[in-house]
Amino acid sequence: MVFGASGGLGAAFVAALEADPRCATVHAGARAASVPGISAPGASAKIRPFRFDLEDEGSIESAAAGCTRDGPLHFIMVATGMLHENALRPEKNWASISAAAFNRAFTINTIGPALIAKHLLGSLATREKVVFAVLSARVGSIADNRLGGWHAYRASKAALNMLVRTFAIQLAVRSPQALCIALHPGTVDTALSRPFQAAVPPASLFSAAHSVQCLLHVIERLQGPQSGRLFAWDGTEIPF
């Protein structure tokens, strides 16, 4: 089950999972009623689109009920996130802090994924390795923060990391093989990072497909005892 299928990374996750013969069904969720390549006529029969809105808990609850009707889930990927939007931009210093930016960042980056967890963690299978993963960011690491700035985004991702740790503790009691993890995809050529790519070396700017393949490889290697942590696209653990 992929939340954020209309975004660059979300769409790449859907495509990779659709191509995986182990996946019988890929539930692909987006805010829009129609997603090119997913809900269009002729799309793969494995892909089942659903609609949700991070700001509407009812839509998440309905999506959870619909997508778990045929049985438990094995992989939930929350590929949503917001760094900039309309007039909101990452702050360069504390003088630029605004309540509107913090409210928006926490609504999308923290509260939305928390509501998804609320309605879906209990739907994961219990007797095998299962995964609940969220897209976080290296800049959400308190220990790794050496540049400052980007206050709302950093804080919302740091809070998301804390939720992942907290969910993992409870999930382990229910299913010791379960993974609840946060993932840093690197700098990916998507709409989220596009305004900030000028200083990124070409070799460090990934396509969405490459980043997703790296992240799926990381997930394959991780085991239950590594739950509740933040991992980068290359498998290295980033301290919270």
pLDDT digits (tens, 9 = 90+) for 43-85: 688 999 999 999 999 999 999 999 999 999 999 999 999 999 9
Question: Which band of pLDDT confidence, cut at 50, 70 and 90, is reported for residue 40?
Answer: low
Calculate what percentage of the chain has a pLDDT beyond 90. 86
The ranges assigned to domains in the chain are 2-238
Considering only CA atoms, which of 179, 42, 44, 51 is closest in space to residue 124? 179
Q: Global pTM?
A: 0.94
Fold classified for 2-238: Rossmann fold (3.40.50)
Question: Which band of pLDDT confidence, cut at 50, 70 and 90, is reported for residue 225?
Answer: very high
DSSP at 167: H
End-to-end CA distance of the chain: 26
Calculate what percentage of the chain has a pLDDT beyond 70. 95
- Between 26 and 38, where is the model more confident? 26
Q: Phi, psi at residue 195, to the nearest 5°? A: -70, -10
Q: How far is CA 188 from the centre of its chain?
A: 14
Q: What is the pLDDT of residue 41?
A: 55
Residues ≥6 apart with Cβ < 8 Å to 103 = none
Q: Taking 70 as the threshold, does the pLDDT of residue 42 lie above it?
A: no
